[in-house]
Structure 1
């Protein structure tokens, strides 16, 4: 679990957080949806997309503020699963009003570490070449990635996972799962109280 300046927390989103992730994507305005998916996307398409998430080949991080997901960073395997020297896609979305708080940088840090720990070789950034904010974010990680000429494809620098990188991800995942369970329990109790 990583604290972000101001009021939010970056943590992994688990299956119990699916509704929070869905609500976040549905709140995105049309321009933000276009930046995230590379096309204009309606609510039905977003619902179908979220229903396909949370398999073993996807890791989703959320920027959670007062129990609400305001941003998401995703690492999705390209192909059947995460394979050594395989490829994966990184995608980001942050709601208007919650940007410029270091959220994207924190997402990228967690995504690069997760990709390295799974020995992913090529990391595709899901953004359009004219998306200067995303290209700038990717450039912050030039020590971790080398970039192709299209400016949106990064090749992870050949580094094997270390004991530290694996343990730090394991610890973060454990803390993130604990927070997710508390958040889920709070949502269930609030719903039960609302019925009475």
Structure 2
């Protein structure tokens, strides 16, 4: 699902230079684990946490693992994995909130929440990307639930998502969370309304982040 105000307008499927290819391979070696052969593990063990600027290379590596179809679905345009990885440099701003899912200890799915400036009531746009091998396993649902909770806790009343007409998986996911779909020329827009923050929603977000922190400490001590 692509963010309307951050779509990449000027990049296409250009073949990267030799230096760019070498840089991509370096990122892959450092931040990409090989595809997990057994992806039937329970999604309840998936860690979802906020990504920070220190995760920039992990995010770039995630974008490089997306295939052509997944990149098109995420950015709304045909771009190369290398060009998509460059987008990771601009994601971590003061406005954007980025969350990642780690089902096997590696970043496999990402959700980006970007509030719209000067909007009242407060509105935001969201975008999701899931690596092909991990699609259809509930990771997107986990990320959607976290993004909706985060939006609610920040007083965002309306959440907008854009996706391609053929991206039925994301449309179904949005409808599962009570989104209203509006079919436009060349895209589908999903609208979700969020309630005001509650003690329960705030506790949910805090518990998720504490769990991720505890898991990270456990992995570091192994």
Same structural fold, with TM-score higher than 0.5 when normalized by the shorter chain: yes
Map of 2:48 onto structure 1: 10
Give, in whole Å, the separation in 1 of the partners of 2:162 and 2:183. 15
Q: Secondary structure at 1:31's aligned position in 2? A: helix
Map of 1:59 onto structure 2: 97
Question: Where do residues 149-188 of structure 1 align in structure 2 (5 Å cutoff)?
Answer: 150=184, 151-157=188-194, 159-180=195-216
Q: Secondary structure at 2:88's aligned position in 1? A: helix
Change (3 A) 1:178 1:55: farther
Task: Say whether residues 1:100 and 2:141 are aligned partners.
Answer: no
* Equivalent of residue 74 in structure 2, options 36, 45, 50: 36
Give, in whole Å, the separation in 2 of the partners of 1:130 and 1:92. 15
Query: How far apart are 1:91 and its partner, in Å?
Result: 1.0
Say what the alpha-carbon RMSD is for the aligned residues: 2.7
Map of 1:192 onto structure 2: none
Give, in whole Å, the separation in 2 of the partners of 1:7 and 1:180. 13
How many residues align? The count is: 179
Change (3 A) 1:102 1:172: same
State the TM-score, normalizing by the size of structure 1.
Answer: 0.77
- Say whether the 8 Å CA contact 2:153–2:196 is kept in structure 1: yes
- Say whether the 8 Å CA contact 1:88–1:122 is kept in structure 2: yes
Map of 1:22 onto structure 2: 60
Give, in whole Å, the separation in 1 of the partners of 2:217 and 2:52. 9
Any stretches of 5+ residues in structure 1 without a counterpart?
Answer: 187-196
Deviations 1:140-192 (A, max 9, x none): 011xx4444544231414x1110110122122223334545666x58xxxxxx
Q: Secondary structure at 2:124's aligned position in 1? A: strand
- Say whether the 8 Å CA contact 2:101–2:110 is kept in structure 1: yes
Change (3 A) 1:37 1:97: same
- List structure 1 segments (4+ residues) > 6 angstroms apart after TM superposition: none
